[in-house]
Structure 1
Amino acid sequence: MPKDTDIPLNSLGFAKPVSQTRVVVAMSGGVDSSVVAAQLAEEGYDVVGVTLQLYDHGAALAKKGACCAGRDIHDARRVAEEMGFPHYVLDYENTFREAVIDEFADSYLGGATPVPCIRCNERVKFKDLLETAKDLDADCMATGHYIQRMVGSNGAELHSAADANRDQSYFLFSTTAEQLDYLRFPLGHLASKAETRALAAKYGLSVADKPDSQDICFVPDGNYAAVIEKLRPGAAEPGDIVGQDGTVLGQHRGVIHYTIGQRRGLGIGGLGDPLYVVKLDVNTKQVIVGPKSMLATRTVPVREINWLGDAPFDSQAEWHIGVKVRSTRPPTEAIVRPISATEATVELLTPQEGISPGQACVFYDQDSSRIFGGGWIWRGQ
């Protein structure tokens, strides 16, 4: 009987035959996770597909452009049938509401601009679903995210996707080192989404031409305010739009309808230079506006930091790294000064506009594709 050390590592990094390697694939019903499941099944792995029902099945059936809805559950099940592996649907509606939707509503009401997809990965997919995968005796869990996991001298590392246009590192910064040991991201090395769709066609998957999801799954039409009003009745109370000196310039129909950096739709035109939303004061129900220069921020307080560097985060006075303060912007040079193991002050060498509490600040190595984690921006300018 050969020792494990005599067996070469398979493509998922285990010293065992693929047929004896069980992998749970988190299947959203989209083309990405479907390709992951199909590819691993074709390679001979013991694949188990799992789809989470995150919100009302009946209401979700007709909604397009969102993940984990009723139609997507059907699509995931169909792919499993086509490729011949078992598929399970888990009802996580209550967990999703408590861990993601409620905080989203409360954060928005607090004047923040939350990113619920990060919390979903952190609190549902990479926590509860990952534990379910372990309960199923899986060796690992694979997802269709565009990010890379590489093994370095100190263990598993998180790296940006090969395709910068598809990179999802901003939404996965809170993945812990322990979770990273167990997770696999088979699509992260692909050069483009076209390659993923080509693989879907190769495997004959019914979802090969399915459009990408664009919206937050429980905000399928992009209307955040309508969702907040439904979740928190009476939240959209009107108030004043005021200038930086407190002068009342107009009226608004509820703070929840505005975001930091917004210029259009304020209804206060003809006042000279363009005015932007620079602050939201929930307590006074005021939308504060000012010139674009007031949006520039150099110092960003960050907390709930998840650090993925080799040395402890607070082992040195400052880290010279790149940071992303919005998912759509490239990393910018910064100095991160730890306050504790989970809090820091981030100094942006070039001021950035439109930074809002509730968004993520993600840390990047400036000399490689590695991600050092990140944290949450927690108070206004």
Structure 2
Amino acid sequence: MPLDRPAPLNSLGIAKPPAETRVVVAMSGGVDSSVVAAMLAEEGYDVVGVTLQLYDHGAALAKKGACCAGRDIHDARRVAEEMGFPHYVLDYENTFREAVIDEFADSYLAGATPVPCIRCNERVKFRDLLETAKDLEADCMATGHYIQRKMGEAGPELHCATDPNRDQSYFLFSTTPEQLAYLRFPLGHLASKAETRALAAKYGLSVADKPDSQDICFVPDGNYASVIEKLRPGAADPGEIVDMDGNVLGEHRGVIHYTIGQRRGLGIGGLADPLYVVKLDPEARQVVVGPKEALTTRIVPVREINWLGDAPLTARPEWEVAVKVRSTRPPRPAVIRPISETEAEVELLTPEEGVSPGQACVFYAPDSTRVLGGGWIWRGK
């Protein structure tokens, strides 16, 4: 009697024919997630599109350059109609406000430089939406993020996108091994955004030429201060600009209008050497300024670490890695010294400027595309 052979793996790495494989696609209304949905639908998968309504500014229908509001919901629904698969809109406004917006406001007011897109992926898209996908009996969930999932000896690994200009690994470091087992990222291997747009044109999608979103979705035109003032009245109270010795150099119009590393717009001219914002002290309502060299940091305390290495973080006294302390900077050599499973001290082998609490510190394997996780920078030097 012949032995039953296991079913071959489909393009998503699942041992079922595509028609029997249900995939929930997280659709933001942009070209990337629309192409993912269309591609999988064309391959014959049982696609279910889901869009999260995260906020509504009243003018959301007319607002450009954001995601997850009126116009984008319409665009996602239209793509689903064009490709012939079901599409659902879930109201996550309250969840988004509690899990992302409130922390963003409090973190910014505490003098940090928050990255709300990471919290949104971590707490909304890859937690709540992923659970919804499981409730819909989906075999996996796919997104339009530019990052790669590869199978390694110990299971699925997270790797940078092929196109370094589109790579979103900095924003996805908190993806857990359990989530990674369920997630798929069909665009991560593409060489350029032009390829994505070419696929959108091939599928005849109405969003093929839609511009990319630029700003944080709930911060129109990048004006953080105006959003914080609405969320936390009184946050823009004026105070003193002081040097590192506490000498008063001038007045500021509210701590929320300043960021670490800022040089322009301080209103304290007439000095021989330029000064930079080196610290924000919201409690004292002070903006502390100093010379450029005061911005450099070598030791970075990191907590809430999500570790994606094969061995536990604490298995070694130190790890040689590369790290990113900002999304726009390339990874630089560093050493991680674990304190616990979720806390560590990171030493930058070349000191960096403008390292700020509230930002992420993301770990990469040396000379590799593999993402080893990351954590949150939680205080100054």
Q: What is the DSSP-based 3-state SS (H/G/I as helix, E as strand, rest coil) of the residue aligned with 1:58? A: coil
- Alignment partners' CA distance in 1, 2:285 and 2:47: 52
- Give the direction of change, closer, same or farther, for the CA distance of 1:50–1:74 in structure 2 (3 Å limit): same
- Give the direction of change, closer, same or farther, for the CA distance of 1:259–1:165 in structure 2 (3 Å limit): same
- Alignment partners' CA distance in 2, 1:57 and 1:230: 12
- Alignment partners' CA distance in 1, 2:307 and 2:190: 26
Q: Which residue of 1 aligns with 2:364?
A: 364
- Alignment partners' CA distance in 1, 2:256 and 2:262: 12
Q: Which residue of 1 aligns with 2:293?
A: 293
- Alignment partners' CA distance in 2, 1:326 and 1:3: 54
Equivalent residues in 2 for 1:19-168 (5 A)?
A: 19-56=19-56, 58-168=58-168
Q: Which residue of 2 aligns with 1:351?
A: 351
- Alignment partners' CA distance in 1, 2:296 and 2:243: 17
Deviates more, 1:114-123 or 1:58-67: 58-67
1:367 to partner: Cα distance:
2.2
Paired AA for residue 135 in structure 2: D
Q: Which residue of 2 aligns with 1:325?
A: 325
- Alignment partners' CA distance in 2, 1:60 and 1:118: 22
Deviations 1:281-305 (A, max 9, x none): 1111100000000000000000000
Q: Which residue of 2 aligns with 1:303?
A: 303
Paired AA for residue 378 in structure 1: W
Q: What is the DSSP-based 3-state SS (H/G/I as helix, E as strand, rest coil) of the residue aligned with 1:341? A: coil
Structure 1 segments, 4+ long, off by >6 Å, are 1-4
Q: Which residue of 2 aligns with 1:274?
A: 274
1:58 to partner: Cα distance:
3.4
- Alignment partners' CA distance in 2, 1:218 and 1:57: 8
TM-score (norm 2): 0.99
Contact 1:4 1:15 in 2 (8 A): no
1:61 to partner: Cα distance:
1.1
- Alignment partners' CA distance in 1, 2:2 and 2:269: 77
1:57 to partner: Cα distance:
6.4
Deviations 1:289-340 (A, max 9, x none): 0000000000000000000000000111000000000000000000100000
Unaligned residue ranges in structure 2 (runs of 5+):
none
Paired AA for residue 367 in structure 2: D
- Alignment partners' CA distance in 2, 1:227 and 1:19: 45
Q: Which residue of 2 aligns with 1:182?
A: 182
1:59 to partner: Cα distance:
3.1
Between the aligned residues of both structures, percent identity stands at 84
Contact 1:5 1:15 in 2 (8 A): no
Q: Which residue of 2 aligns with 1:243?
A: 243
Q: What is the DSSP-based 3-state SS (H/G/I as helix, E as strand, rest coil) of the residue aligned with 2:58? A: helix
Give the aligned CA root-mean-square deviation in angstroms: 1.2
Contact 1:58 1:70 in 2 (8 A): no
Contact 1:4 1:16 in 2 (8 A): no
Q: What is the DSSP-based 3-state SS (H/G/I as helix, E as strand, rest coil) of the residue aligned with 1:225? A: helix
Q: Which residue of 2 aligns with 1:227?
A: 227
TM-score (norm 1): 0.99
1:380 to partner: Cα distance:
1.4
Contact 1:361 1:377 in 2 (8 A): yes
- Alignment partners' CA distance in 2, 1:361 and 1:245: 29
Unaligned residue ranges in structure 1 (runs of 5+):
none
